[in-house]
């Protein structure tokens, strides 16, 4: 039996999100968990940003997270089996990030969405949590570093003196989806190597 099912969808469309869940249920027989990590960003002055540029980030993050949460939760409620949802926030939710306004705003919004749905859906046995990653060595970050697009001093802003690895985020996601986290809901788990804790430069 195939363990992976690919379905192209536009998460910023409620109809597309519903179609994705329906196709997944038809393939797998049900849905017990959701990892909601679709995202995009921009690098534009807030004074120069167009409505289209604002919306293209907000649509994917805010609308996309809500529509996917809603579509999956509707199935979980109907099945009566509950489940677990993990959304993707970011360390950008706690500091001002110039030229990334819609990204930072949408990530703070995902925090609020996560907490609210966690409370609203607890009666159905649905847990809703989020992950807030620091800088992670994804292909995008690795390529940006190699090409000099990423400020190398950012590494030193992490207390652990390095960027994280994708598997370190995946481990957190796995935990929040598992029964080991059965009494955890409405939380935003920060996995950032001490980036948000460090605040100021410090060396021995």
Which residues have a catalytic role annotated?
103
The DSSP annotation for 70-114 comes to HHHHHHHHHHT--EEEEEE--GGGGS--TT-HHHHHHHHHHHHHH
CA distance 104 to 56: 14
3-state secondary structure (DSSP) of residue 22: helix
Q: Which residue has the tokens 């985020």?
A: 169
**CA-to-CA distance for 144 and 121, rounded, in angstroms?**
39
User: Rg (Cα) of the chain, in Å, rounded?
Assistant: 18
To which residue do tokens 């980036």 refer?
195
Q: Which three-class secondary structure state does DSSP give residue 200?
A: coil
Dihedral in degrees, nearest 10, Cα atoms 84, 120, 14, 138: -40
140 phi/psi in degrees, rounded to 5: -65, -45
Contact indicator for 24, 34 with CB cutoff of 8 Å: no
Kindly provide the residue ranges of all beta strands, DSSP E only, lying in the chain, ordered along the sequence. Answer: 33-36, 83-88, 126-133, 188-191
């Amino acid at each position: 039996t195939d363990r992976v099912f690919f379905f192209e969808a536009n998460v910023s469309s409620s109809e597309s999100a519903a179609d994705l869940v329906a196709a997944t249920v038809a393939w797998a027989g049900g849905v017990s968990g959701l990892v909601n990590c679709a995202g995009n960003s921009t690098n534009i002055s807030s004074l120069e940003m167009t409505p289209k540029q604002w919306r293209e980030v907000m649509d994917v993050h805010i609308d996309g997270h809500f529509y996917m949460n809603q579509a999956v939760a509707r199935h979980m409620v109907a099945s009566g089996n509950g489940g677990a949802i993990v959304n993707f926030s970011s360390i950008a939710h706690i500091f001002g990030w110039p030229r990334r306004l819609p990204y930072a705003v949408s990530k703070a919004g995902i925090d609020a969405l996560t907490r609210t749905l966690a409370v609203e859906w607890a009666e159905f046995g649905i847990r809703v949590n989020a992950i807030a990653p620091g800088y992670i060595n994804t292909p995008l970050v690795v390529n940006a570093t190699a090409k000099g697009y990423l400020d190398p001093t950012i590494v030193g802003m992490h207390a652990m003196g390095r960027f994280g690895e994708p598997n370190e985020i995946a481990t957190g996601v796995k935990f929040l989806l598992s029964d080991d986290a059965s009494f955890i809901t409405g939380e935003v788990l920060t996995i950032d190597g001490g980036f948000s804790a460090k605040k100021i430069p410090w060396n021995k």
